[in-house]
Structure 1
């Protein structure tokens, strides 16, 4: 009888494995077979378990075998072959974790997710601090001439969506393509720009009222 009390391999296995109290016993046939194969789909932890049993770096294991307690599996388990096979699957490979380094794939996913949160958060902070844009209803968004950028910004400042409509590479590519124009701005010009952004964002914007009057006068003059 083989009974596992604890199995650790970094953060791959959950804390339920430390200690392991359920479904932790394996009974072997009494006819003398000593070779065991572990078979299962990709991502179920086969390689991670084998590494723990082999005493790989960063792993720990506690088990009882035929009444004797062990804290190392290397002297008991002899791994003949750890083979990962590739199967023909229905769908796209992006839907599956393939390969031996599943932990690294999870870490990469987390890094990409964290990087996206950082990028979107930085855009939101700059829009709010530099342009007073904090919601998709901001009137200043109507002044954006690039339709694609306007749609991305609207989705990013949407507190529910947070840019979910657009892939990270699309956001980066679109923003990176915006031409940078370096121009010296006097204190007077900066003050006017600050006033413009502040007023245009207000519900009772004077500038917007003037715009509406201008359009109305134009229509009257043109007989529209």
Structure 2
């Protein structure tokens, strides 16, 4: 495996069932590789499988055939405990719906996420992480009192606090206004470049996709790179 390759997908296939229980092929013989510091956009219509592919890369959703390697380790050969460790230590995930814990502050959300991942994050460290996304002054504020853009920045800080090698982002600007969406994407690409974090994002936003090194269109279960 190439030293700088952090994600390698080979001949990935997955079938699912529709609302009537009829099976269909979601993916067929998909191949993809991502190197350190590289950014990749996954585009395609709703229902094409963008979110499912991210979930499979994160080891959160099973696949039928093929290989997914993260940082040189095959997900299909890892026990659940090892897979959880791999995610906690090397992977960050940004969800469209933020997935923050209500009733707690921005700092609490970062600290609890770190605890769940098996590590310890001090209040000072959480503030430093929030400062990177411009929210140091919001550390003690309940997330319910933060705007959508601020909540997404908390979610981004949470995903990046363990300095992952790979960041997965599922429609990271989908619930945001254009100005706030641009700020969030600027933050992601800054982290991508400054820390050489690999970035794979699923998006309908053409402008966001065009900022990536590579753009792939998901169509009829296949992945096609756009020239």
Give the TM-score band, short-chain normalised. Answer: under 0.3
Normalised by the length of structure 1, the TM-score is 0.25
Structure with the larger RCO, 1 or 2 (CA within 8 Å, 6+ apart): 2
Query: If each structure's strand is expressed as a fraction of its own residues, which one has the higher value?
Result: 2
* Greater Rg over alpha carbons, structure: 1
Say which structure is richer in helix.
1
